[in-house]
Structure 1
């Protein structure tokens, strides 16, 4: 098995444990990169100033460089360093924190009613609702939600090296259309007193002025919400089926579901790994890493490191001082972590209200093809699945 295959393997955590026990950081000659699996070294690499999110020679992946998706990618704060990272983050991070104080439960209920999402299709809930909640918070109308959600999913395809030409073509089209929609939203004279108004006031008050980068990073928020939150929701539904005893004689209250989601983010991360690219020679975990080297950080392995979380292979709802690397750490830590957890929790509550049978294990699933994401796709008993990836 390779770390890339592990992301969608039935149970990769024994493999991750063996990597940690052998050495927290090691070089894989077959893959031509370093693999970091221990919590301490993963945290150190994420914080190191010479470990960058993109290689210096290729700031934008070659497959999308000549198109709208590449234009967006090149302006994303999560894919840049220095001012291109810090300036948009200083504007957007306070708004994300305020979003977390909004009535997420009420917005989820509103979106569910507006879209009339089928209660027996968790896949639609996973991929449509989180982005639609974000779109509602930002200020898109109810008639735009389906389109925004689909365009976001189209754009997300550009982030995967597994995407084919047709998917990349849709990604460019989606990026162009989303850019126009966000541009139109920002061009309105009265942006109101809500999230969009606060965001734009912070933007106008700061020295950073780059309308295209602002639009790109708003699209980036939606793309991060799309797959990562879908995976978080889906893996929580799987955790319900695998741990039915924890829900016996208990109602799925907001507090209980929030604990489930937080533990799932650690226990079965929707983002299994990420990469860093070394700009200058440095020493990590007792090893010398040369400029130009690539490091694959196994976030899911670090989550299960006993030095970070005692009794890491147990699913514990009331885990104290839980440490989760799924959202990164250091300067590139996801600023929307709490908002993502809140949206996932409220979507699951609404789904369980409509479809309580999800707790009874009526679904099978397979994982969507990915090198780093662990995102299930559900089907009912009797529906055809790829037998190599079917789980129950």
Structure 2
């Protein structure tokens, strides 16, 4: 195991504890990057002005540069710092924060969930994006198309994708752009109208970040829902707890996003360590969540934990703007799955290949 492969390991947490014990910020010679594993180091990296979300010499990955997927990638607020990050965030974040949970619950409840692994996977991977698409004003039929295109598009966000997947991602980006151009021509929802009214940039940047909203929903919600189901599988007594409280501890204890990266723009000192311009820092969010300096009894799963602190949705200027929406969609989906009385013990699972995500995929036993 290494700090990257740990994300999809069955139990990476003892390994994370070992990294924290060695030092909060250390250089990994095989991976040729720094690893921030303690809460102090993670907080320092995420807050440092010289730690950027993309390397200066490669703002868009070479594999997708020059195509529509690259055009979208280069305008995403999560992939930019400064004004290119603040402008779309200031338009989207306030509107997501005030969405009515009852509306989200109704949209989730309207979706068909079958009592098998296929139904669970559909609820995890298709449901959340369809909900976001509906909130933005797409019809149910259009929302299904948006989800399918988003599933293809997210391939451009990982270096694990092959040429066929990258080609599909490029085509998906083109189609998603077209769908949003048509939607913006006559906004069909209060949410989209409010976002558009707040937004001060050009339409292409807005479209890119609406696509980004869908792509972030796709993986983050799937992982949060899936890891919550695994927690219930391991501890059936948790079924008696509030789903909201359960999710709050799952996102700390076994988060869907295990790590992120920062790229050092100028030589500086972080957490007492000198790093140089061009260095890469792997930020182990999941490890920091279990640092005793951040949470008492961090290795225990405590639904009613007091003063819970977590880096799972990021921190500072790049904290996830859709945290409340993600938690709302995930909570509604978990309740719907449990309401169908699916026997979680009859499901096999494995983690989807990823360099930073911890997203289970389920299958029926014997399948």
CA contact (8 A) 1:99 1:137 kept: no
Q: For 1:277, which of 236, 256, 263 is the aligned residue?
A: 263
Listed one character per residue, the Cα deviations across residues 283-312 of structure 1 (whole Å, up to 9, x for unaligned) are: 112110101100000000001111111101
Question: TM-score of the superposition, structure 1-length normalised?
Answer: 0.91
Given the alignment of the two structures, is residue 375 of structure 1 paired with residue 367 of structure 2, yes or no? no
Closer, same or farther in 2 for the Cα pair 1:128/1:29, shift >3 Å?
same
Q: How far apart are residue 47 of structure 1 and its match?
A: 0.9
Q: How far apart are residue 192 of structure 1 and its match?
A: 5.2
- 2:295 maps to 309
Matches within 5 A, 1:241-256: 241-247=233-239, 250=240, 256=242
Given the alignment of the two structures, is residue 267 of structure 1 paired with residue 237 of structure 2, yes or no? no
CA contact (8 A) 2:113 2:120 kept: no
- 1:195 maps to 191
- 2:208 maps to 216
CA contact (8 A) 2:264 2:275 kept: yes
Q: How far apart are residue 118 of structure 1 and its match?
A: 2.6
RMSD: 1.2
User: For 2:308 and 2:210, how far apart are their aligned partners in 1?
Assistant: 29
User: For 1:117 and 1:319, how far apart are their aligned partners in 2?
Assistant: 31
Listed one character per residue, the Cα deviations across residues 224-249 of structure 1 (whole Å, up to 9, x for unaligned) are: 000111011000000001112333xx
User: For 1:101 and 1:345, how far apart are their aligned partners in 2?
Assistant: 10
CA contact (8 A) 2:115 2:342 kept: no
- 1:2 maps to 2
Q: How far apart are residue 100 of structure 1 and its match?
A: 5.1
CA contact (8 A) 2:136 2:188 kept: no
- 1:390 maps to none
User: For 1:213 and 1:156, how far apart are their aligned partners in 2?
Assistant: 18
Question: SS at 1:104's partner residue?
Answer: helix
User: For 2:2 and 2:331, how far apart are their aligned partners in 1?
Assistant: 32
Q: How far apart are residue 8 of structure 1 and its match?
A: 0.6
Listed one character per residue, the Cα deviations across residues 314-341 of structure 1 (whole Å, up to 9, x for unaligned) are: 1110011111111110100001011101
Q: How far apart are residue 28 of structure 1 and its match?
A: 0.8
Q: How far apart are residue 143 of structure 1 and its match?
A: 1.2
- 2:33 maps to 33
- 1:337 maps to 323
Aligned length: 365
User: Which stretches in structure 2 are left out of the alignment for 5+ residues?
Assistant: none
User: Which stretches in structure 1 are left out of the alignment for 5+ residues?
Assistant: 384-392
CA contact (8 A) 2:267 2:275 kept: yes
Question: SS at 2:8's partner residue?
Answer: coil
Question: SS at 1:99's partner residue?
Answer: coil
- 2:85 maps to 85
Q: For 2:135, which of 125, 134, 137 is the aligned residue?
A: 137
- 1:238 maps to 230
Q: How far apart are residue 274 of structure 1 and its match?
A: 0.4
Q: For 1:126, which of 124, 146, 155 is the aligned residue?
A: 124
- 1:350 maps to 336
User: For 1:100 and 1:37, how far apart are their aligned partners in 2?
Assistant: 36
User: For 1:193 and 1:294, how far apart are their aligned partners in 2?
Assistant: 41
The structure 1 segments of at least 4 consecutive aligned residues displaced by more than 3 Å after TM superposition are none
Question: SS at 1:318's partner residue?
Answer: coil
Q: How far apart are residue 119 of structure 1 and its match?
A: 3.3
CA contact (8 A) 1:55 1:278 kept: yes
Matches within 5 A, 1:31-110: 31-99=31-99, 101=101, 103-110=103-110
Closer, same or farther in 2 for the Cα pair 1:77/1:100, shift >3 Å?
farther
